[in-house]
Structure formats: structure tokens, C-alpha cells
Amino acid sequence: MISKLFSLAGAGPASSSSVSKFAYNGFLGANLELNGAAEILPNGLLRLTNNNDKQEVGHAFHPIPFSFLNSFEEPFSFSTSFIFAIFPLYADLSSEGIAFAVSPTSNLPAVLPSQYLGLYNYTHNDDPNNHIVAVELDTTESKEFSDINDNHVGIDVNGLKSVAAAPASFFSDSSFDFGFQNLSLISGEPMQIWAEYDSKNIQFNVTIAPLNVKKPSLPLLSSKVNLSSVLLRDMYVGFSASTGAATGSHCILGWSFAMNETAEELNHSKLPVLPPREEEAAMKKTNHWVLPISIAVAVSLLLSICTVTVVVLLKKRRKYAEVIEEWEKEYGPQRLSYRVLYKATRGFSKENILGNGGFGEVYKGQLPKSKQQIAVKKISHESKQGMKEFVAEIASIGQLRHRNLVQLLGYSRQQGKLMLVYEFMPNGSLDKYIFGRVEKPLSWKQRFHIIKGIAAALLYLHEEWEQVVLHRDIKACNVLLDAKFNGKLGDFGLARLQDRGEIAETTRVMGTFGYLAPELSRTGKSTTSSDVFAFGAFLLEVACGKRPVELRGCGVQMVLVDWVIEFLKKGKLLEACDRRLEEFESEEVEMVLRLGLMCSHPMAAARPGMRQVVQYLERETPLPEMTAEDFSLFQLASLRNGLVDCAFSVDSR
């Protein structure tokens, strides 16, 4: 393991330094406490281990401890930055590594070299009494510590099993090298590390980059690490490095550290020069005749590298090129670059996932410039709808404007990557409040407000926009809630546009089982009436707290419409409402249940239009009574559709 880069520990002497920060641009005159193989060279370079074939340990610590706890025994924040280089004795073969340490003592006794990095031995590794945290730069893979590979950075607590680790790499926002770029820790090239602990948010960030690259905008590691039980009041800061049989040298060029603030930037112009590798110096003395051949080889190699570089750059340009097709030109202002969304979602990190669906993942993000919170739907390559779904959503919701529709802010295409960007809805989807075990279920007042909002949105889609928009997937999980629990209809992946008066063509049935109108199994034609049928199912599930159907194999265990009708026939309709509702307006609940049955009528012609639905909900028009003939139609339709649905194939998400 190359190095347990950042080691923090927690017990120390009785008094600590009044100084809260320092910076070394080279170490000439630095009063560091050195142990083992560590030494400061005449040019100011701190060398922790030397180029030989021995197993050894090198320690270099600041001689005075710092106070890491406040008067309430709570940890302080801290940060450090240092520049290091690792020279392997043999090319591509290194042994262990460097550790920046905050330790209870500057003298770490009874520690071992090799994979223990000069911090532990086999008896007290993983001992909570160590009070040591480490961020490792590891160049060997130790199976006993579950290392991810032989070239990684990790954060460790009291032992060598990392609580967070990632392959050594740095984030680049260059047009040609966008994303995380690999680094070789044993390249012999100087690299800079930034390790920062935010005690308030218990957030530990570690960032790495080549010396000639400014600090990346995204850290390599960003992890929640609670150090309250690890850090002690007085602790030392310093470095530890160790070697094995095939060794090299571990060098530190500059180092800064600060408590409760950002560590000072290092001055690269004042850093000591790294010495040439020993084997290279020996070759210069004994192989003078190699120079002419080397020059010829170098020129040839340079030409080859230039050719390869041009090819790679062209490939990367094509990789991140965002081809605009003819249909997209109309929506150009809404297009966002993949690079912007990558930054906004912290590289589409797992921590930012809001949910998953048949289309792929949804990520939370924040636009870099405006700081607006967004939700990014990343359509997967395996999605059944794929580009067709993507185009449908842009072509429909991209131009719609209504307070009860989720606003599409933009979209992105980058080769096979398809992304839609929405306003962020902090309270998530309605279904988790209706069907999930939440601490505080929605009140009837909230539910009725959401119902009226979705009805208004559907009226806008069906009658008030310039074209008819068929949503074709109305259900509780596609209704999202903003910060004030206003309901907004989203997910237009199955939506379809048609001109007014146009007759829909027969097509594949799209939607979700339980929300599909009976006529769809015969005609395959989606209409505003089939949307109304799905809205009826939505009304009943919101009022009753039950799903439209509960399936067991191919058989239907319970059909919600039939279940509500049984209560209606007995004159006990209100007993069908969700038992979690503590207070409600009886007339409103009964009206919603009856309206849900009307919208769920098996005959499309008997269902109301959305304008009528809104009038009923606003009590501008009284609901008609259901007749005995209506009951019979419902029961016959349920029996018939139960048989049809088992044999009929439905595209469901």
C-alpha cells in the first residue's frame, strides 16, 4: 500500500501550540522531529526513505502539538496540503508509501514497515485506542486490508481498512480531458494533495492533482467521517512512510497545515528540486555512447507520441461532441452541456441518486452558476423507450407551462447519454405518502388540494394548450410534491401529442396495469377519455390509500373499483376512505370517491371530460347519482377485463 496519506490520532501532551497554522516551501531550517530513515537534504527536500533494498520506516513530525478539540470536547476543522513524489527503485514496482499523520505522539513505537506504513503493527491495527485517521496513497494491493487496487487513495480510521477509497485520479474540466483522469503514484512526478475535514458537516474531502494542475473543482474522495471519538485534545501532525524489499524513495517538497481554516497555498517557485533517479545518474556516467542513439529514438518516439496525441484528442472531441439533430433546433435554448450536468451532480455520484425507474436513475444536482437545485433524469441504454421516450418528453413538456406540471428546465444529449433536467421537487413523489410508511401521512386537506391541482393540469393538457396532450401514465408515483406539498404532474415519457380533432392511430398499448382503460385492450387507441380513466384510478388510490389492483400471479386479488362499489351499495361509502385520515370533510371525501367511480366507468362515453371533473371538484356542478345499471356494468366489466388483462400484453414501467 503506497501510503496512508493522512493519519489523524488523538492523545497528546498536556499543552499545545498557540500557533494554529504553518507553511513550508521546502524544509531548510525547519525544526521537524525526524525518526528512522527520514532526513532533510541540503537543498531543503524532506526525504522519508532512501533508495535501497532494506525495509525501513521514516517519520517527520511538527515538533509541537495542535489542539484538535474545543472546550466542549468537540473536534475542530482542519486542512492540509503537501507536495510529494515517489521514486521506485525499479520501474513500475514500488513498495508501500507515505502518510501524513496527526498522531497522539510524534514517536510511533513498535510500528512495522511494508504494508503497515510505519503507523501500526499486526497486533494493534484496527484498535480504536489508536486514535489515528489516515488518508492513504497506496501503491501495493494488500488483500488483508481489502485494498481496491495497487494505485489508490483512501481515508482510514484507526487501521488500514479504508472507510473510503478510489483509484488515484484527478478531476479535469478541460474540453478534451473532461472527467477523472488516471494518475500513477509511482511515476516519480511531483503531485499535490489537499486533505480537508469539516467538523460541522463531518465531511472529509481529499483531492489530488499533478503539480502543474490547479486544485480540481471536484475532490477525489468526499465522505462522511465522524472523528468525535477519534481525535483527542493535543495531537501531532507529520508524515510516515515505509518500504519493503523492492523499495524506492519517498519525498516531500512542501507542506502547509491550518486549524479551522484553509491551509495556505504553497509557492511552487520556492520548492526544492527533485534529485535525478540513481539508476539514471549511473547510466549517464557509464553509457555515453547511448546519447546519439537515445536522441534518434527520442525524436522517433516524439513523433509517434504527437501522432497518438492528435488521434486521442480527436477521439475525445468526438466523444464529448454533442451532435444536434434537425428536430432539436426548435428546442436549442433548453439544451445544457453534459459537462455542466456532470459538475452539478458531482459526477453523477451515488450519493446524489433520488430514485430509480425503468428509464434509469434520477439525480439531484445544483447548477454551478445559478445555484438552482435540479433533478436530472438519466435515461438508461436499456430503457425500452430510449430515444423515442426522450424525444416525446422534450417535444411535449418542453413547451408546456402550468403551475401543476413539473417544469422541464432543459435537456442534454452526448452520444448515447440522454438526460432531462427538471425543477427539483424536495418532497418527492406522492406514492410514498399514500402507500409508504411515513411518519406523518398527508391530511385530507393536503390530498384534496393535490387532487384539484392534478385535475387542473389535465384540463390544461386536454383542452387549453394549442395541441391535445395525452399523458398516458397518470398515477401517484408520477405526481411530485414541491416544498409546500403542491402536486405537480411529471414523467411525460409516454406522452403523445395530437392536433385537435385528430383521430389517434392504433398503436402499442402504453401505460401501467390497473390504470389502463378497458377499451385500450380492443382498440389500442389512447384518448383523453383513457387519461380520465387513469385519473379515476388516481382519485380512488389517493382517497382510499390502496392501489388500483393487487395482483397475485395472473389472478386479481382485489380490484379497488369493485371494493369501493361494495361500500357504496351498502350505503357506507365513507368507510372506503383511508383509515389513516383522522379529520376530513365527509362531503368532499364522498364526492371524490363517487367521482373516481364515474371516471373509472367501463364505457368511455359515460366518463366525464376533465372540464366537467374540475367543475365537480370546485362544486360548481353537482355529481349525478349512480344507478343500479351502473353497478351491473362495473361488475360485468371487471369480470371481463380481469380475463382480458391476463392474456393482454402491456408495456409497463
Catalytic residue among 138, 473, 491, 630: 473
Q: How far apart are CA 239 and CA 83, in angstroms?
A: 12
- Cβ burial of 642 (10 Å; 0-12, 13-18, 19+) is middle
Pairing of strands 98-103, 6-7: parallel
Torsions phi, psi for 329 (to 5 deg): -60, -35
Local structure of 139: helix, strand or coil: coil
- Gyration radius of the chain over CA positions: 33
8 A C-beta contact, residue 7 and residue 132: yes
Grid cell 502518510 in the structure block, residue = 99
Grid cell 360548481 in the structure block, residue = 620
Grid cell 438526460 in the structure block, residue = 419
Q: How far apart are CA 351 and CA 25, in angstroms?
A: 37
- Cβ burial of 337 (10 Å; 0-12, 13-18, 19+) is middle
- Cβ burial of 534 (10 Å; 0-12, 13-18, 19+) is buried
What are the residues whose beta carbons fall under 8 Å from the beta carbon of 71, sequence distance 6 or more? none
- Which of 164, 130, 142 lies closest to 244 in space, CA to CA? 142
Active site residue 473: yes
Q: How far apart are CA 340 and CA 346, in angstroms?
A: 10
Q: State the helix-helix crossing angle for 444-459 and 528-544, rounded to 10 degrees.
A: 180
Distance of CA 400 to the CA centre of its chain: 28
- Which of 1, 6, 4 lies closest to 237 in space, CA to CA? 6
8 A C-beta contact, residue 218 and residue 379: no
* Helix, strand, coil share (%) of the chain residues, nearest 5: 30, 25, 45
Catalytic residues: 473
